[in-house]
Chains A and B, each alone.
Chain A
Amino acid sequence: MKIGEPQDHLGHTHIEILEKTANAIRQDIIKMLLEAGSGHSAGPLGMADVFTALYFSVLNHNPKNPKWEDRDRLVLSNGHIAPVLYTTLAHAGYFSREEALGTLRKLNTRLQGHPHVGSLPGIENSGGPLGQGLSQAIGMVLAAHMDSKKYWVYCLLGDGEQDEGQNWEAIMFAGKNKLFNLTAITDRNNIQIDGMTENIMPLEPLREKYESFNWHVLEVDGHNIQEIIDACNEAKAIYEKPVMIIAHTIPGKGVDFMEFDYHWHGKPPKEDEAKMALKEIRTLKGKIISEHE
């Protein structure tokens, strides 16, 4: 498998390798959160498949040259899912797994509780306070247009964070300006800190909202790596509009007692919980369904 080249035809073997990578990333998320003693569990586990698809198939990037000017950019708006970003970057080769698993949230670490651009290779934006990512992604897209660069900008958004008005300012701007080389992905896991999104502040009908702002919308099973890759490729063929991929995910995916439970949004597993979680993830094979199976 080559990092950095768009994959048009994917064989089973390739997908299987990616699934194994996603599984290893999930295990590392649990390990790093246990070691850190604080942090978010549900979001990172739910986004492991999307991150794997992006960093191991979709993105044109080079971990040995993180500032390569033609690289695709990935802006993480909901910075609290940093554990999945850090573990994925480590697996991709930006820095060591040892650093990822051992230093998260500790004094003098490069792995801040929420990502800090400049501290760690591979980080494109500082983020945590919600709603700020998409605007920055737009800035990167506009810079590409001015410099006649061909790179693509991806922006990952939480669903709960779309309560923030700034997102809608940015969505309006991107639609108006037909920012075709912008692909946003919403982690539609239906939870936020205080409960279910539809109880806290309903987002539906979400697809229609984006469409009415002149975005092209795709929906995928956020745990089907093949579908995620296909949607990202399809997005590249849409020349008139920015694309929003609504990735339907299960918060805490892969660990039974975390799945769908919003209480796991913002806390790490304790030692016995981590043990159970790791055991489950290791025997996950077959539980995350991809099309090829």
Chain B
Amino acid sequence: MNEQNLNPKLFEGEVEQVPTRDGYGQGVVALGEKNPNVVVLTGDLSESTRANMFQEKFPERFIEVGVAEQNMMGIAAGLALSGKIPFVSSYAVFVPGRCWDQLRVSVCYSKANVKVAGAHAGISVGPDGATHQALEDIAIVRCLPNIIVEVPCDALEAKKTTIAIGEYTGPSYFRFHREKTPVITTQDTSFKIGKAEIFREGENVTVVACGPLVYQSLLAAKELEKEGIKAEVINNHTIKPIDKLTLAASAKKTGAVVTVEEHQINGGLGGAVAEVLAENYPVPMERIGMPDSFGESGQPNELLEKYGMSVKKIKEAVKSVLKRKK
């Protein structure tokens, strides 16, 4: 199977590009139409998180909290404990970054049905610089009990994720991105919380990616094929609970793994995959991600290039891990 369930125009120059945050806005509106208990909160970031799409349709269920993320997370917990399904919308550097204790105690410990939407994740936020590039959010959330963590790869999947999270009962965190990124999937691409999807089959190496870098991973796999390397590409959108079966089976099949994410290499997808494989099926592995460093201002593509999250670096990592393969 070569990308048969994906966007047929995926590798054309003019592939459609949409920011994943648009998927969030569409998703909460769809949920709001179906369920009157869906509520959206924001901390002075209505438009840039796309929470405004919900605000326009359901002003009576939209809550503006001001620049006060700790209070926002607590209000969301109180709403959830009263039967509401609140979506907390802000930048991922602030939710969970600014209110981790509130997320831990008021939400996760209480199993409050709060949905945390972290926008502007990753280094591709670009010119705003290191302060606004969330590169630690996956690590600090996935260590908490009772919460699931999702990283959709494109706008369509972001919408599916938002809807699935709204229909799932329990604390949830998901991140999305500011910039337009390629639409990788179609309406028909299967999506299920907790199920990693094999987007391209291969037998020499497995590339496990999440978020918009799934696209770069697919590009790398396509180019590697010309060199005789068949890479399997897995869209691992659910970081927690992680799909151990799919990951271990692929590692067993290919014998080498590369992880790709817009997050610190420590504690994110790479860490989660390493944990699974070390316990279930250890194979040589390399991690692509932010190399334990803060970002800086720049254009998204320049930053991905400089900090080693480009197609070129993915290919290099694949070749490097193949050398270590027994």
Contact = CB atoms under 8 A, between A and B. Distances in A.
Interface in A115-156: 116-118, 124-129, 131-144, 146-147
A139 B82 contact: yes
B71 A173 contact: yes
A267 to B, nearest CB: 23
Contacts of B66: 169, 172-173
A280 to B, nearest CB: 36
A127 B86 CA distance: 20
A118 B101 contact: no
Interface in A222-240: none
B266 to A, nearest CB: 26
Interface string B102-113: 100110011100
The DSSP consensus for interface residues of chain A is helix
Given A126-B105, A135-B102, A166-B102, A146 B84 contact: yes
A146 B39 CA distance: 10
A173 B68 CA distance: 9
B70 interface: yes
B63 A170 contact: no
Contacts of B73: 135
A175 to B, nearest CB: 12
A139 B110 contact: no
Contacts of A144: 82
B82 A140 contact: yes
Interface residues of A, number: 33
Given A126-B110, A135-B102, A140 B71 contact: no
Nearest to A170: B71
Q: Binding site of B, secondary structure by majority: helix, strand, loop or mixed?
A: helix
A135 B106 contact: yes
Contacts of A202: none
Nearest to B71: A169
A66 interface: no
A135 B110 contact: no
Interface string A151-168: 000000000000001100
Interface in B33-81: 39, 60-61, 63, 65-66, 68, 70-81
Nearest to B65: A173
A127 B109 CA distance: 9
Contacts of A165: 70
A169 B65 CA distance: 9
A135 B75 contact: yes
A11 B241 CA distance: 59
Contacts of B60: 146
Given A129-B101, A135-B70, A118 B110 contact: yes
Scoring B60, B77, B102, B106 by chain A CB atoms within 10 A of each residue's CB, the highest score goes to B106
Given A135-B106, A138-B75, A146-B39, A166 B70 contact: yes
Contacts of B39: 142, 146
Contacts of B105: 126-129, 132
Contacts of A118: 110-111
Contacts of A136: 74-75, 77-78, 81, 106
Interface in B98-140: 101-102, 105-106, 109-111
B80 A139 contact: yes
A134 B80 CA distance: 15
Nearest to B69: A169
B110 A125 contact: yes
Contacts of B109: 116, 126
Contacts of B291: none
A134 B68 contact: no
Contact of A170 (B74, B76, B101): B74
Interface string B4-32: 00000000000000000000000000000
B83 interface: yes
Nearest to A75: B78
A268 B82 CA distance: 34
Contacts of A139: 74-82, 84, 86
A117 B77 CA distance: 11
Interface in B226-276: none
B77 A124 contact: no
B102 A132 contact: yes
B151 to A, nearest CB: 27
Contacts of B106: 125-126, 132, 135-136
A143 B71 contact: no
Contacts of A116: 109-110
A125 B110 CA distance: 7
B1 to A, nearest CB: 44
B81 A166 contact: no
Nearest to A138: B75
A200 B131 CA distance: 32
A276 to B, nearest CB: 36
A118 B80 CA distance: 13
A257 B39 CA distance: 50
A213 to B, nearest CB: 13
Nearest to B78: A139
Contacts of B83: 69, 143, 147
Nearest to A171: B71
A172 B72 CA distance: 12
Nearest to A137: B78
A241 B75 CA distance: 18
Nearest to B67: A169
B81 A135 contact: no
Contact of B82 (A143, A166, A173): A143
Nearest to B86: A139
4 tightest Cβ-Cβ pairs between the two chains A and B: A139-B78, A135-B74, A143-B82, A169-B71
6 contacts: A132-B74, A132-B102, A135-B102, A139-B77, A139-B84, A170-B75
